[in-house]
Amino acid sequence: MEDCLLPVMNTGLRGVDVASSKICDVRGKQGKLIYRGFLIEDLAQNASFEEVCFLLLYERLPRKQELEAFNQSLKQKRKVPKNIISFLKTLPKEMNPMDVLQIATPLLIQTDKTIGESGIENILFSAENLIAGIATITAAWDRIRNKKTVVPPDNDLNHGANFLYMLNNEKPDDETIRFFDTSLVLHAEHSFNASTFTARQVASTRAHIYAAISAAIGSLSGALHGGANVRVMKMLKEIGSVEKIDAYINDIFNSKGLIMGLGHAVYQTDDPRAIILAPMSKRMGQIAGQPQWYELSRELEKKGKAAFKAKKQVEIFTNVDFYSASFFNAMGIATDLFSPLFAISRVSGWAAHVIEEQYAMAAPKPSLYRPGAKYVGNYCGPDECVFIDMNNR
């Protein structure tokens, strides 16, 4: 049995490059995140989410008329078929929103007459259909599960503002719109994270984009991926106040646990997205009259970093989830909607990767993903087992 417990090389594919890509560059040592050549700081400050979607899908920033046409195309795809809304109403109201989103997303295929047809223009149509439809499904489910009337899209609003309107049946103020739009920009893409790798792996089989995106949603639902900011918010509520931080950190070290939101698989400095989100979280907390969650996060960051330095002699850094939790909470968004919000944004990046994978836009030709595995089974010694009839076992 001891042989079965031998460590497997490259567990989790950490540090293993599995494909070439022109979409995103994450420079962990420098703390840089780059979408198609553009720093995330520049995009967050200057670009709308729709501009970033266009950039990811078309490899360049849009001109004014192109952006107007792209916006109109997304708006035309916001209204999902009535049978999807009817289906959502049949589901148990206690279902997790991510499970609902994964179930309902493939149903968007019914409005896509281009599916199965060759040509990059057809998969781009599908990508727009998914970007628009996933937002509508998420807002509709939250209202249905809370026994509220589903709010139809408002095509006078941009993508982010329209989502908040469909969610709350109230048009958000300009500052909230700007902050939320920025949060969508920050979450749109992050290279070969778990859900993107999932989307590309499924796409490599020549499955259609709806199958790939649905699989990515399933990956995102995991607690260590899209669910990480959910765990951050639960942690903050468990701590409760600044005065209890020291005791919480001591408990974490004694139990060999984790401070959620600190540490990242790639960054060796503070996540640039966390740096942008922190002041947004502070301001949204002030607007909502709930400054305590940002203040608690800020103090936990300081003391958590200091504790890791003192007790383990290592530097630890904030990731995007650390401040997105208090930010979305201050916006009045239910904690279990944090992961769907991630999907509403990241679908743009997923779609770009599916297109790149299937059209070999960064490789000589498409290739089916088929990794190997180190077999460590040792059931009958070095030889194969002899099959024994059931009566003689």
Residue 296 has pLDDT above 50, yes or no: yes
Question: Which residue in the list 112, 264, 271, 353 is annotated as catalytic?
Answer: 264
Residue with the two structure tokens 């944090």: 338
User: Count of CB atoms within 10 A of residue 253's CB?
Assistant: 13
Amino acid code (one letter) for 103: I
pLDDT digits (tens, 9 = 90+) for 328-381: 999 999 999 999 999 999 999 999 999 999 999 999 999 999 988 888 888 998
Euclidean distance between CA atoms 325 and 332, whole angstroms: 11
Q: Is 321 a catalytic residue?
A: yes
Buried b (16+ CB within 10 A) or exposed e, 107-134: bbbebbeebeeeeeebbbbbbbbbbbbb
Task: Give the pLDDT band (50/70/90) at residue 265.
Answer: confident
Q: Residues 285, 291: contact at Cβ < 8 Å?
A: yes
Residue 51 has pLDDT above 70, yes or no: yes
Amino acid code (one letter) for 96: N
> If you average pLDDT over residues 272-296, what whole number do you get?
97
Give the dihedral sign, CA 286/287/292/297: negative
For every residue of 190-246, DSSP letters joined together read -SS-HHHHHHHHHHTTT--HHHHHHHHHHHHTSTTTTTHHHHHHHHHHHH-SGGGHH
Task: Give the pLDDT band (50/70/90) at residue 16.
Answer: confident
Q: Are strands 38-39 and 32-35 parallel, antiparallel or unpaired?
A: antiparallel
Q: What is the pLDDT of residue 8?
A: 65
Residue 327 has pLDDT above 60, yes or no: yes
Residue 217 has pLDDT above 80, yes or no: yes
Question: Which residue in the list 112, 142, 271, 321 is annotated as catalytic?
Answer: 321
Alpha-carbon separation of residue 64 from 67, 71, 161, 305, 349 (angstroms): 5, 11, 20, 44, 22
Q: Residues 230, 336: contact at Cβ < 8 Å?
A: yes
Crossing angle of the two packed helices 120-145 and 82-90, in degrees rounded to 10: 40
Looking at every residue in the chain, the average pLDDT score rounds to 94
Residue 150 has pLDDT above 80, yes or no: yes
